[in-house]
Amino acid sequence: MTGRLEGKVALISGAARGQGRSHAVRLADEGADIIAFDACRQLATVPYPLASQEDLAETVRQVEKLDRRIIAREVDVRDSAALSGLVEDGVAEFGRLDIVCCNAGVVSFADPAWTLDDEQWDEAVAVNLTGSWKTAKAAIPAMIAAGNGGSVIMTSSVAGLKGYSGIPHYSASKHGIVGLARTLAVDLAPFSIRVNTVHPTGVDTPMIANDWMKSYLADRPKSSSATMRNLMPVSVVDVVDISNAVAWLASEEARFVTGISMPIDAGFMQA
């Protein structure tokens, strides 16, 4: 059976693990070839372990197991020149670019919010928001040149729809992604390139499933229970739940869906 994305090519940031790897595997399962990248190094203000070279190699293994092609490279989402080079090489190898998943993101914490360090603010905004912009900026000319339309999917968060205690930089960056996506949706509509955001509640990925996060939340039980309450009886959702939404937004089934903010939140925004 032919997949919904057969013959298409997807660029995915933060692809070494978590949501990014899941998106790569899910889109590959639907027939897409993958251009994957991740910084694969620790950042100064991030308190939990980030992805490694071995993680990115595992993404390659899982995509190739599905008999799809993949280019994987260590690229920092803040590096415009490296991003442009990756897109150029990917299009030269695969012949086109149809899907862009601006997924890379980091978080750190400050409680109360005004104790946040400048470095924490700068790094989170640079990776989450500016990184999404730079990824899209590098990819869009190739998508327009190919003339096939396409889909840009930006990972925001429920923290991009409401305020969260302790993460002003993360919430601001995720709100900013919504404004960026909506503006790009307007500018890219004449080229049949759609731009949408997804807004997960807590997802079972290494961003939250790590020893540092467990300790942080254990020290703040009232705060964590107030800010992470889903309406449905789950504390976190599965990573594939986000990837399923991404696959739909990337497919022709969503060919006239653009400029929307899609919660995958187990009812969090209604709680």
Catalytic residues: 170
Sign of the torsion angle spanned by Cα atoms 227, 106, 87, 24:
negative
| Rounded Cα gap, residues 215 and 206, in angstroms | 14
Q: Give SS3 for 185.
A: helix
Residues in CB range of 61: below 8 A, 6 or more apart: none
Whose CA is closest to 63, among 100, 98, 30?
A: 30
Cα 104 to chain center, whole Å?
Answer: 5
Cite the DSSP H helix spans in 67-166: 80-94, 118-125, 131-146
| Rounded Cα gap, residues 19 and 137, in angstroms | 21
Residue type for position 147: G
